Amino acid sequence: MNRLSPKALALSALITLSAAAGADEATPKLDTLKPAQLQGGKVKVTTTVNMISDLVQNVGGNRVEVTGLMGPGVDPHLYKASAKDVRALQDAHLIVYNGLHLEGKMVDLLERSPKAIAVTDAMPKNQLITPPGGFIGIAGLQDPHVWFDVPLWKHSATIVRDALTRIDPAGKTTYAKNAAAYQKQLDALHTRVEKMMNRVPKEQRVLITAHDAFSYFGRKYGVEVRGIQGISTVAEAGTKDIQELAKFVADRKIHAVFIESSVPRRTVEAVVQAAKARGWNLQIGGELFSDAAGEKGTKEGTFIGMVEHNARIISEALLGK
């Protein structure tokens, strides 16, 4: 069973109190956004995770200047805003974040800003996954890792388009055209991922990763998903979790487990060693991008490249290539 660290427990309590205190306050929506005095300049957009930075750049094109707070390898669950980040948030015309408490330590700051939008606000609530125990130990909170359901992620382009149009009405045609083009690219990505995963026999589609960030991927592409730590990295995997997963791996004869770019690999290595002690040779199948995309300027530094990389690594490892 996953244990929450003292810091995680404190964060959980803080979020619970914040939610209770603001129960009557709606999360900032599009109607709080007003046209900016751009005077020929670009719309300044501050984003959190780099998948959203890429999204905003695709929709905004050359009419936006994007400042991303969290780069490659950064864990948004644990990220704490610096003084520089606060300035970037203050200077922005628009702030775009994921929501659903992905940015755990920044949630209060983001939700209270009248110029901030969460891309998950645009998503149908009946398509969001609510884990049995909730998220970060709070019942009813939904899994925030929505981007791995590619058709669901298309909704994020819509809300960014609408938000930019509110800030910069003169760019309406550009934003609409760019959003539609990007959504077509996402349709093509979804088709490619489906084809890759369908090559893997159904009984072999078992994905084990450092933390449970792939539930949306599993639901969309027919993959059984197990995370060592749980949905948030603030939860710590205990010895019992490691041993239970090692038994599961050995019993199911699973050949590969995966590390993540934004999560330390020690828990994955512990499962590999525990499986070995049971006489089962478990391999690390490769590194996946979960809570952050890759380095800027690389294919994996884009959302599309990140998801395609993951699907290729997962499918090839599960096929034993």
Amino acid 26: pLDDT: 34
Amino acid 264: pLDDT: 74
Amino acid 162: pLDDT: 98
Edge-to-edge strands of the sheet including 43-47?
64-68, 43-47, 94-97, 116-118
φ and ψ at 33, to 5 degrees? Answer: -85, 135
Going by DSSP bridges, is the β-strand pair 224-227/206-209 parallel, antiparallel, or unpaired? parallel
Among 130, 73, 61, CA closest to 101 = 130
Mean pLDDT by 10 residues, the chain (321 residues): 41 38 45 92 98 99 98 90 95 97 92 96 95 73 95 98 98 99 99 98 93 93 87 58 90 92 83 94 94 94 98 95 76
The CATH number of 3-180 is 3.40.50.1980
The domain spans of the chain are 3-180, 192-318
Among 75, 205, 212, CA closest to 131 = 212
| Domains 3-180 and 192-318 are alike in CATH topology | yes
The CATH number of 192-318 is 3.40.50.1980
Amino acid 14: pLDDT: 38
